[in-house]
Chains A and B, each alone.
Chain A
Amino acid sequence: MNLLTLFLTFLQIGAFSFGGGYASLPLIELEIITKRNWLTHETFAELLAIVEMTPGPIAVNTATFIGFKVGGVGGAALATLGVVTVPVILMLILATIAFRFLKTPLVQDLMNGLRPGIVALILYSAFSIGKVALTGWGPVIISLVGLAILARTKLHPAWLLVAAAFGGILFL
């Protein structure tokens, strides 16, 4: 496995990952599963389940995990480094430019345009993971009940994840 390819792949994913971790999952899916066949959809879903149970940024955790699967500890380090490189450099540049830059109409227009794209990317992740995850009534019910609780209460998702895991062990 070419570690340089791994690094460059995550560099590219990091540069396009607007809108947080879930919005970057379609990029990861395209690069890692469709283009390079490094993982199957099932392994990817399994990995996402573990990432959800672990604190820390989703994109970073996912990169570490896939990097490890593909290239061991070195791969984990390179993939993690890759996914944060462009954002970190951009942050250092933006920190030196006046904050007022963000309030210009140009940047506001760009952000307004990106928003529907980001929401669509996030929903596409749900669609794609859903195809693997929602097999049979059990997971569908967990998903619907979970959504209702998330929408109605301020319960921390960690508790729901623990409950879903136990629900799975007991009933699925």
Chain B
Amino acid sequence: MIPLIQHEISTASNLLTHDEVSDVLLIAQSAPGPIAVNTAVMVGYKALGTRGALATGLGVILPSFLVILSIALWFMPYTDLPQVVSAFRGILGLVVSLIVFAAWKVSLHHINWFLVLGTLAWLSLMIFVQVNPYLIVLLSGASGLLYGPLSRRARRGESKE
């Protein structure tokens, strides 16, 4: 979706420059919340202030809201049909691979020991000790605040010797 946003916002409509879009995307991905919604709100705000943010926010949420509502209202009664059940079994098999692939894409440019060991540690805590996912968010964030200064100090120590 990111190339789509880049194209629509900076190339097709000149709402923001290419560099501004890159900054917006960086913030949208770092903050909590759906990336598409975050991006839309920030682009709207940069272009037209609070009213712009309201417009782009509604613009990105409303279509999916209405689609899901229509499906829930008119399609859900048919989910017990044998063909639908079979289709769902196929789709869900693929959903698992889509999720694993998403994890791979997040890691792709950042693979190092900290990421690999950290991921294994947090995942084991969730699977084997049923640690609450909120706690994983808090603890992993805190681990970064500890690890960053420590690794910088270690590097400074090395360069002195």
In-complex Cβ contact of A124 among B63, B71, B123 (8 A): B123
User: Looking across the interface, which residue of chain A has its beta carbon closest to that of B37?
Assistant: A84
Which of under 10, 10 to 19, 20 to 34, or 35 or more describes the interface residues of B?
35 or more
User: Contacts A45-B92, A119-B103, A132-B92 given: A168-B64 contact, CB under 8 Å?
Assistant: no
Q: What class of interface size applies to chain A in its complex with B?
A: 35 or more
Q: Which of B6-14, B142-150, B153-161 contacts A (4 or more CB under 8 A)?
A: B142-150
| Chain A residues, Cβ within 8 Å of B28 | 91
Q: How far is the CB of A14 from chain B (nearest CB, A)?
A: 6
Q: Contact: B92 with A129, CB < 8 Å? A: yes
- State A14–B37 Cα separation when bound (angstroms): 12
Q: Contact: A120 with B123, CB < 8 Å? A: yes
Could you tell me which residues of chain A, from 81 to 102, have a CB within 8 Å of some CB in chain B? 83-84, 86-88, 90-92, 94-95, 99, 102
Given contacts A73-B69, A150-B97, contact A133 B136 (CB under 8 A): no
**Per-residue CB proximity of B125-157 to A under 8 Å, as 1/0?**
011000011101101111111111100100000
Secondary structure dominating the interface of B? helix
Q: Are A90 and B33 in contact (CB under 8 A)?
A: yes
CA distance A161 to B42 in the complex (A): 31
Kindly supply a per-residue 1/0 record for chain B positions 76-100, scoring 1 wherever the CB is within 8 Å of any chain A CB and 0 otherwise: 0001000100111111111111111
Interfacial chain B residues near A169, Cβ < 8 Å:
83, 86-87, 90
Q: Chain A residue with minimal CB distance to B103?
A: A122
B136 with A58: CB separation less than 8 A: no
How far, in angstroms, from A126 to B98 measured CA to CA in the complex? 9
Q: Which residue of B lies closest to A21 (CB)?
A: B34
Residue ranges of A at the interface with B (Cβ–Cβ < 8 Å): 14-22, 26-27, 30, 45-46, 48-61, 64-65, 68-69, 73, 76-77, 80, 83-84, 86-88, 90-92, 94-95, 99, 102, 105-127, 129-130, 132-135, 138-144, 146-147, 150-151, 157, 160-161, 164-169, 171-172
Residues of B within 8 A of A (CB): 23, 26-38, 41-42, 45-46, 50, 53, 57, 60-61, 63-65, 67-69, 71-72, 75, 79, 83, 86-104, 106-107, 110, 114-123, 126-127, 132-134, 136-137, 139-149, 152
Show 10 A/B contacts (Cβ-Cβ < 8 Å), sorted by A. A20-B102, A46-B88, A84-B61, A115-B140, A117-B122, A117-B140, A120-B120, A123-B119, A139-B96, A168-B86
Given contacts A52-B95, A60-B36, A168-B86, could you give 5 more A-B pairs where the C-beta distance is less than 8 Å?
Answer: A84-B57, A91-B53, A109-B147, A117-B143, A140-B93
